[in-house]
Amino acid sequence: QVQLVESGGGVVQPGRSLRLSCAASGFTFSTYGMHWVRQAPGKGLEWVAVIWSDGNNKFYSDSVKGRFTVSRDNSKNTLDLQMNSLGAEDTAIYYCARETGPYNGFDVWGQGTMVTVSS
């Protein structure tokens, strides 16, 4: 079945880095734009980043621009998020999500992986 599974979350000290991964299965990964969305504890959803299906175009929210890098490997059906210079404000559940179509909503979500930035 169509599935996204995130991994890589954990506890990290402020200023350090962490890399999240998202494994896709059950659909033709290379034909979909993919996003990262996060949710701080007890808070709402926040869009983080998008990477187009071919991996050649990447865009970020202002809050992570310059610190986070999204990438994908269409041969391995994987999506990654490299997070540098982490701060307490980055503490959240990170979800990967599939875009239904260009500029459209997100129809498939992973279960999320928790990132806690704390000393």
Partner 1 sequence: QSALTQPPSASGSPGQSVTISCTGTSSDVGGYNYVSWYQQYPGKAPKLMICEVTKRPSGVPDRFSGSKSGNTASLTVSGLQAEDEADYYCSSYAGSNNWVFGGGTKLTVL
- Binding residues for partner 1, rule: CB under 8 A, are 35, 37, 44-47, 50, 57, 59, 61-62, 95, 100, 103-107, 109-112
- What is the C-alpha R_g of the chain? 13
CB-nearer residue toward partner 1: 17 or 25: 25
Between CA 74 and CA 55 the distance in angstroms is 8
**83 vs 110 by CB, closer to partner 1:** 110
Give min distance, CB of 106 to partner 1, in A. Answer: 6
Burial status of residue 30 (CB atoms within 10 A of its CB: 0-12, 13-18, 19 or more): middle
- Name the residue nearer to partner 1 (CB basis): 37 or 86: 37
